[in-house]
Amino acid sequence: ATNRSDVLDKALLRPGRFDRQVYVGLPDIRGREHIMKVHLRKVPIANDVDASVIARGTPGFSGADLANLVNEAALFAARRGKRIVEMQDFEDAKDKIFMGPERKSAVMREEERRNTAYHESGHAVVAKLLPHADPVHKVTIMPRGWALGVTWQLPEHDRVNLYRDKMLEEIAILFGGRAAEEVFLNSMSTGASNDFERATKMARDMVTRYGMSDVLGTMVYVDTEENGMFGKMGAKSVSEATQQKVDAEIRRILDEQYALARKLLEDNRDKVEAMTKALLEWETIDADQIGDIMSDRPPRPPKNMPP
């Protein structure tokens, strides 16, 4: 057996020999739940640990990823001097795997923390206000990996297809950080560079790959085999005029979604200010606290304050 069938000799793959290929995909939510139950037998767990909740919060995880999650949670519990692994340990392990380890040694100036808090609040508020966006699970301004802050959304279901309305909303959410910087700080930072890259790629794919443009219609404008825009250099598969139309349509999508993100933030200034204040005080807020802020209630204190 091999997971690199592309390197096998063609003679081995002729009919009657090793001609059967079985594709093993990533487990769905029920599969992840059953896999988690197998790995949870290896560690002593508290009564509050729910395999179904962990399965819903780990989309895209393989069996090996889930085994690693259990090991990380056990390490968190051991560092805290506990004899059993609690749900909070699994949450912290999941944060570490998804968002990277906390860089507690990183010293951020107060102005940097404030700017990051507004940036992440912009992402989170736009995501909460759009109808098709995935629920916001957690927002933090604790530096993790290479990021100074993270807004983490969790899908409610395993995602199979991408849809036009949802993709447009995701572009608006990506622009929420820069829009918040402009509206509330009257400045711009390089922190939005990755957001812009992802938004531009998504808009380009919508126009050139997925036929989601009313102007250009249902036609593919990218050579998928070459994995590059319009094929090889010097061998474009479309005319210069069509390429200009493609660029203009991508620009239109990006401009419209940026305008939407900015308008949502301008109309909900109080929610952005409240979320920024909570982030500056606690550094990390969860879905319950975000729900309080969006409902104009004072956010409840964190469930587990750090020792």
Catalytic residues: 120
110-129 and 287-294 are packed helices; what angle lies between their axes, rounded to 10 degrees?
A: 80
C-alpha neighbours within 13 Å on the C-beta side of residue 63: 8
115 touches 189 (CB < 8 A): yes
Residue 140 and residue 163: Cα distance in Å, rounded?
28
Tokens of 153: 């959304």
Tokens of 60: 């895209």
Question: CA dihedral in degrees (276, 278, 282, 288; nearest 10)?
Answer: -120
Residue 123 and residue 19: Cα distance in Å, rounded?
49
Tokens of 87: 């749900």
Reduced to 3 states (helix: H, G, I; strand: E, B; else coil), residue 149 is: coil
| Beta strand ranges found along the chain (DSSP E) | 136-140, 150-153, 284-286
**Who contacts 73 (Cβ-Cβ below 8 Å, separation ≥6)?**
43, 85, 89, 90, 92, 93
158 touches 28 (CB < 8 A): yes
